[in-house]
Structure 1
Amino acid sequence: FWDFKKPVIAAINGLALGAGFTMPLACADLIYMADDPETYLGLIFVKRAIVPEFGLSFLLPFYVGFQKAKELLYFGDKIYAKEAERLGLINKALPPAELLPFVRKQAERLIPPKGPSLALNLMKKTMHDYFREIISSTLDKENEALRILFKTHDMRESTKALMQKREPIFKGK
């Protein structure tokens, strides 16, 4: 996704939980989000007894700072659009009816004749090249942690609890 030559814009209009939270951070150059009670970001990894994936262990502290990232990951609370904007997780919170028209206008500004596509491509490449090795290493570490956690009681309990629509009872095993 980082080799894609054109800017990628994400519009979040609904729940973005777990990997749905991570993918826009990892893949999109610009992120816009509907500001309404039905739309929020959720880091539910802790509730499923697993670690973040898709490089979020690196990306989240990069976006919000180390201490805030730990708080967000450890508690897994909902993050609504205004808070996401304040934290720097998204570019802008918009009323739901304005989200897609705004995103379309932004996209039009990035394509010829209004946007210099070669310059944008090289800007993106220059910024992303710095992070490639860090992300690769982070993905390896996250995958190793997930391999360990998938064998645990807590992971099995979280899956069972999810299927039974109840809170999990973790044992730290």
Structure 2
Amino acid sequence: MKIEDIQDVLYEKEENGICTATLNTPERKNAMSFITFLELITILEDMEADKNARVLIITGKGDAFSSGGYFNMNLLSSTPKEIIDQIDLEDIAQKRICMKLWNFSKPVIAAINGLAVGAGFTMALAGADLIYASENAWIGFYFVKRAVMAEFAAHFLLPFYVGFQRAKEMVYFGEKLTAHEAEKLGLINKVLPPDELLPFVREQALRLIPPKGPSMSLKLMKKTMHSYFTDILSKTLDLENEGLRACLQTADFRASLKSLVTKQEPKFKGK
């Protein structure tokens, strides 16, 4: 994919070194498709090749950061074959982009401007060095409600951040957290009023860019912090892919899909 092919993400580059990727499908609350993830990979590769691109800010258009994954096969059927050929439809856990983000040499800041559900938050947790959120933002770990499991190495990252017991409680019961609750757990760096979020994030970004920030030092610190956990992250993603493929074959998953139509609570059978 080329930069000019990008449609789901608004990509902006500034002379000061700040780059912004805005998830730009507000009509679906910025839910991310396989194509969206490919676009984000293209942006990361473009920034790696550009020495003047220093910091990436990821945010969402409208009142949502992202409502999670968007797996609409009709969307793929209308996509050019040369783009589809670049997508691994078996990579449900999104290992490719997760590892791209994890190994990305430049700082990434997530500006959570609204709801962040499922992959809408786990992507930020895996890929952002710093996460800031507006006061009206919230996080939903709703995987269990769809009889599936998390992706983006959340099964390693959540226990790493909040401990095993709390992480299990969050995913077992499909919890919803306010921005302030997530901040107390250490999942978010700071919560700000909505109109102060992006200005604050930009200020933080400028602190990471010369002349204020020593970019080489930052690059080496990030690499050193991440390198020890790279193999763990990769193995977790493989296990998530294996588990997700199994979940999608279950009667419970089919019941969860039916509940979206009937608007009733799904009745799971454990198989």
TM range (shorter): over 0.9
The answer to whether the aligner puts 1:169 opposite 2:267 as a matched pair is: yes
The answer to whether the aligner puts 1:12 opposite 2:83 as a matched pair is: no
Q: What is the DSSP-based 3-state SS (H/G/I as helix, E as strand, rest coil) of the residue aligned with 1:110?
A: coil
Instruction: Provide, for residues 72-112 of structure 1, a one-character-per-residue CA deviation record: whole Å limited to 9, x for no partner.
Output: 11111211111000000010011111111110100010000
The residue aligned with 1:52 is: 150
Give 1:4's aligned amino acid: F
The residue aligned with 1:122 is: 220
Q: 1:154 Cα shift? A: 0.3
Give 1:26's aligned amino acid: A
Alignment RMSD = 0.9
TM-score by length of 2: 0.62
Q: Note the 1:53-92 alignment, pairs <5 A.
A: 53-92=151-190
The residue aligned with 2:235 is: 137
Q: 1:169 Cα shift? A: 1.3
Q: What is the DSSP-based 3-state SS (H/G/I as helix, E as strand, rest coil) of the residue aligned with 2:229?
A: helix
Q: Distance in 1 between matches of 2:135 and 2:213?
A: 28
The answer to whether the aligner puts 1:2 opposite 2:102 as a matched pair is: yes
The counterpart of 1:156, out of the listed 241, 254, 270, is: 254
Q: What is the DSSP-based 3-state SS (H/G/I as helix, E as strand, rest coil) of the residue aligned with 2:212?
A: coil
Segments ≥4 residues shifted beyond 6 Å: none
Q: Distance in 2 between matches of 1:7 and 1:156?
A: 40
The answer to whether the aligner puts 1:112 opposite 2:200 as a matched pair is: no
Q: What is the DSSP-based 3-state SS (H/G/I as helix, E as strand, rest coil) of the residue aligned with 1:46?
A: helix
The residue aligned with 1:146 is: 244
Q: What is the DSSP-based 3-state SS (H/G/I as helix, E as strand, rest coil) of the residue aligned with 2:177?
A: strand
Q: Distance in 1 between matches of 2:263 and 2:199?
A: 37
Q: Distance in 2 between matches of 1:49 and 1:80?
A: 23
Give 2:113's aligned amino acid: N
Q: 1:117 Cα shift? A: 0.1
Q: Distance in 2 between matches of 1:94 and 1:162?
A: 34
TM-score by length of 1: 0.96
Q: 1:6 Cα shift? A: 1.3
The residue aligned with 2:13 is: none
- Structure number with the bigger relative contact order (C-alpha 8 A, sep ≥ 6) is 1
Q: Distance in 2 between matches of 1:112 and 1:164?
A: 55
Q: Distance in 2 between matches of 1:87 and 1:154?
A: 31
Give 1:18's aligned amino acid: G
The answer to whether the aligner puts 1:26 opposite 2:123 as a matched pair is: no
Unaligned ranges ≥5, structure 2: 1-100
Q: Distance in 2 between matches of 1:168 and 1:98?
A: 40
